[in-house]
Amino acid sequence: MTMSTDPWVWLAALLSLFIFSYLYKDNPLFKFAEHLFTGLSVGYLIVIYYNNIVRSYLLNPVLADHRWVLLVPFAIGLLYLFRFIPKLSHLMLIPIAITLGIWNGIALPLTIEADIIRQMQGTMINTSMFRNPWDPYTGLAVGILIAVGVICTITYFFFSREHKGALKVSAHIGIWFVMIGFGASFGYTVMARVSLLIGRLQFMFTEWIHLIK
């Protein structure tokens, strides 16, 4: 068994061990690694933001290509800084309003299209589903299951009527669908968390201690 001679691999491996030490209990080594990560990521983000955003979308086009019009949105963006001057802090609302307005304008019709209309289309049972009834995506069996699930779940989250009679039955079926969904989600999450552990151990056993080839 050999070990890595790369100091960066050693650093990464030791920091991973510091984090793992939290499993036993909270301790200064864990705190050190956590704070180091927080500080580093802030520093890294500043560099990335400057290089990839400020320089390529503002400085270069203005200074090299003289696209002066870009200074207008830049000035509007600067209004955010008025948040530190209480008397003028209302000026901050201008960029917020512009951002919200633009995003809502883009988002609303597209969300209705992608998340509601297209999904409704997928939920409706139709004659094309009879062609291949057991297909896991487009078959009739799955189609019925999805349609019943969607309608019953919607009734569970309907707050304008008491859950009585038919509504109660439907809401009850709905909550079963929700719980089965949560079960699936739980199982997937377990796999996700174990994968993260495996990923770290793979790094330690392949790059740090050469245990696995």
Partner 1 sequence: MRTIALAGLVLLWTAWAAAIPGPAAAPPPQPATVAPPSDLAAGDTPNDAGQSISLTWRPSPDEALGVEGYEILRAESAEGPYAKVGYVPSGFGSFDDQAVPRDGRDFFYRVRAVGAGIAPSEVAAAGPARSSQQWYNAARTNALVGTLLFTLIVIYFIQGARRGRHLFIRRIAGLAAVEEAVGRATEMGKPILFCPGMDPVTSISTLAALNILGQVAKKAAEYDTPLVVPNRDPIVYTVAEAIVKEAYAEIGRPDAYNHDSVFYLTDSQMGYTSGVNGIMARERPATNFFMGYFYAESLVLAETGAATGAIQIAGTDSITQLPFFITACDYTLMGEELYAASAYLGKQPMLIGTLKAQDWSKALVGLLLVAGAALALSGPGLRQFVLRLLSID
Partner 2 sequence: MKFLIALSKIDRRVVYLLLALAVVVPMIVSFNVRFHVDRSTRDLFEAVDRIPPGGQPLMLVFDYDPQIMPELDPMATAILRHCFARGIRVVGVTTGAQGAALGERAMARAAAEHGKRIGEDYCYFGYKLFLSMIYFGENARRALPVDHYGRPFDSLPMMRGIRNYDDIPLVIDLAGSSILNSWIVYMGARYHVRLGAGVTAVMAPDFYQFLQTGQLAGQLSGMKGAAEYEQLVVERGYAPAKGLASRAMNAISASHLLLIALIVMGNVGYFAARRAKPKNPQGGA
Positions touching partner 1 (CB under 8 A) are: 26, 34-35, 38, 108-110, 112-113, 116-118, 120-121, 123-127, 147, 150-151, 154-155, 157-163, 178-179, 182-183, 185-186, 189
DSSP codes joined into one string, 130-186: GSSTT-TTTSHHHHHHHHHHHHHHHHHT--SS-S-THHHHHHHHHHHHHHHHHHHHH
212 interacts with partner 2 by CB under 8 A: yes
Residue 190: is it exposed, middle or buried by C-beta count within 10 angstroms (0-12/13-18/19+)?
A: exposed
Per CB under 8 A, the list member of 27, 39, 43, 57 interacting with partner 2 is 57
Neighbouring residues of 3: CB distance < 8 A, sequence distance ≥ 6:
208, 209, 210
Nearest approach in angstroms of CB 12 to partner 1 is: 19
| Three-state DSSP state, 210 | coil
CB of 57 to partner 1, least distance (A): 23
Find which of partner 1, partner 2, none residue 138 binds, CB within 5 to 8 Å per kind. Answer: partner 2
The partner in contact with residue 205, picked from partner 1, partner 2, none with C-beta cut-offs of 5 to 8 angstroms by kind, is: partner 2
Instruction: Tell me the closest approach of the beta carbon of residue 190 to partner 1, in angstroms.
Output: 10
Rank residues 142 and 151 by Cβ distance to partner 2 and give the closer one. Answer: 142
Give the other-Cβ count within 10 Å of 61's Cβ: 15
C-beta separation of 208 from 4 below 8 A = yes
Binding of partner 2 at residue 129 (CB under 8 A)?
no
- One-letter-per-residue 3-state SS of 187-208: HHHHHHHHHHHHHHHHHHHHHH
Binding region for partner 2 (CB under 8 A): 23-24, 41, 44-45, 48-49, 52-53, 56-57, 60-61, 106-107, 110-111, 113-115, 118-119, 121-122, 136-138, 142, 146, 181, 184-185, 188-192, 194-202, 205, 211-212
